[in-house]
Amino acid sequence: MGLHLGLGDGASLEERVKRRFPGVSVGFAPAGSLPLAEVLATADRTMYQRKRFS
């Protein structure tokens, strides 16, 4: 898990992480004013969806 303040696009982060660590799955969720638990749950779902289709 990483917190990236000011990051507007998770795709660029995902690309950099996968280039450096090819076996790692990435899930991104913008935080905004949402509770942390909700943001983490969204990122987790995204990660598993992408993992399933890769």
Domain that holds residue 35: 25-54
Q: Is the pLDDT of residue 5 over 70?
A: yes
How many residues belong to the chain? 54
> Tokens in use for 30?
């913008």
Residue 53 lies in a domain: yes
**How many other CB atoms are found less than 10 A from the CB of residue 5?**
5
Residue 1 lies in a domain: no
The pLDDT tens digits for 13-44 are 888 888 999 888 888 888 888 898 998 898 88
DSSP state for residue 5 in the 8-state scheme: T
Residue 31 lies in a domain: yes
Regarding pTM above 0.75, the answer is no
Domain count, the chain: 1
Residue type, 15: E
53: helix, strand or coil? coil
Task: Report d(CA 52, CA 7) in Å as an integer.
Answer: 25
**How many other CB atoms are found less than 10 A from the CB of residue 41?**
14
Residue 13 lies in a domain: no
